[in-house]
Amino acid sequence: MGGIVRNCRLCKEPMESSPFIMCPTCLRDSELIRSFVQKTPHVTLEEISESTNISLEKIENMATLGQKLPLNLK
Ligand SMILES: [Zn+2]
């Protein structure tokens, strides 16, 4: 019956099987960040966090994962 088969790559929460490596919440967050970065190039991770209300830790994890995010921030 479906069920939980793996963990979100980002927040490590259990998630149901999907084509994505991230849970729906993280996918939404990553889209938020991606559109924000596209509108605001050269923004820092801290500024992204403040503007999107997504935790800095999560944004850093996204940058580390490097999935679908135009973040070249170190
Ligand atoms: Zn997640």
Cα–ligand 1 centroid distance for 69 (angstroms): 15
Cα–ligand 1 centroid distance for 43 (angstroms): 23
User: What predicted TM-score, i.e. pTM, was given to this entire model?
Assistant: 0.75
Cα–ligand 1 centroid distance for 12 (angstroms): 6
63 pLDDT more than 70:
yes
Annotated domain spans of the chain: 22-74
Q: Residue 9 in contact with residue 25, Cβ under 8 Å?
A: no
Please state, in angstroms and rounded to a whole number, the distance separating the CA atoms of residues 24 and 7.
12
Residue 3: what pLDDT?
67
User: What are the pLDDT digits (tens) for 21-31?
Assistant: 889 999 999 99
Cα–ligand 1 centroid distance for 63 (angstroms): 14
